[in-house]
């Protein structure tokens, strides 16, 4: 399981997602360009000491990301308010890459078209969207639950 961030604009959200991924043992792809300094020094400020515990890949463009993703055969699952299918009705696979969009604009149409599946989080009518880090946590939690991908303490069974 991987989390991918498309051209994030808010470093604190990226830091939160990096901490989430480190804690759950999930790799992260950051697709540029970002709206902030993406150096290790800058990310260390947002992700604190968790940065050393996350597998992080940086891609200059969506095309670069797609080349790598297709090479590995990972299915691209886009989280979007434009999707009809709720994440709770979707069957996740262990090798999926969950993609969240830019906080200010989501993802462009060509990225929507490249996704193998698009899902949404069910919400009350009239509300726009959730914070991208919150959305990533909600969907990643369901994906890990379905696939048995949550980490567990040594000597204990996964629940």
Q: Where are the domains of the chain?
A: 2-147
| Residue indicated by tokens 């830019």 | 102
The residue among 91, 106, 79 whose CA lies nearest residue 147 is 91
- Put simply, whether the predicted model's pTM sits higher than 0.85 gets the answer yes
Name the strands in the sheet holding 76-79, side by side, starting at the edge strand that comes first in the sequence.
56-59, 27-31, 2-6, 97-100, 76-79, 117-120, 85-86
Q: What's the pLDDT score for residue 41?
A: 64
Considering only the top CATH level, what class is 2-147?
Answer: alpha beta
Check: CB of residue 146 under 8 Å from CB of residue 91: yes
Predicted local distance difference test score (pLDDT) of residue 159:
47
pLDDT at site 28 = 97
Mean pLDDT by 10 residues, the chain (159 residues): 96 90 96 80 63 91 97 97 96 98 94 98 93 97 97 60
pLDDT value for 89: 98
Q: What is the pLDDT of residue 52?
A: 84
């Amino acid at each position: 399981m991987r989390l991918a961030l498309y051209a994030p604009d808010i470093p604190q959200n990226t830091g939160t997602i990096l901490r989430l991924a480190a804690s759950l043992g999930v790799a992260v792809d950051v697709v540029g360009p970002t709206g902030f300094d993406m150096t290790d020094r800058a990310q260390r400020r947002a992700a604190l000491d968790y940065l050393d515990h996350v597998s992080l890949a940086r891609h200059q463009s969506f095309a670069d990301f797609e080349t790598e993703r297709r090479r590995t055969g990972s299915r691209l699952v886009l989280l979007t308010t434009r999707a009809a299918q709720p994440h709770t009705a979707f069957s996740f696979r262990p090798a999926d890459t969950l993609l969240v969009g830019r906080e200010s604009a989501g993802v462009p149409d060509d990225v929507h078209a490249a996704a193998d599946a698009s899902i949404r989080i069910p919400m009350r009518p009239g509300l726009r969207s959730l914070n991208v880090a919150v959305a990533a946590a909600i969907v990643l939690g369901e994906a890990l639950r379905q696939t048995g991908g949550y980490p567990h303490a040594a000597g204990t069974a996964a629940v």
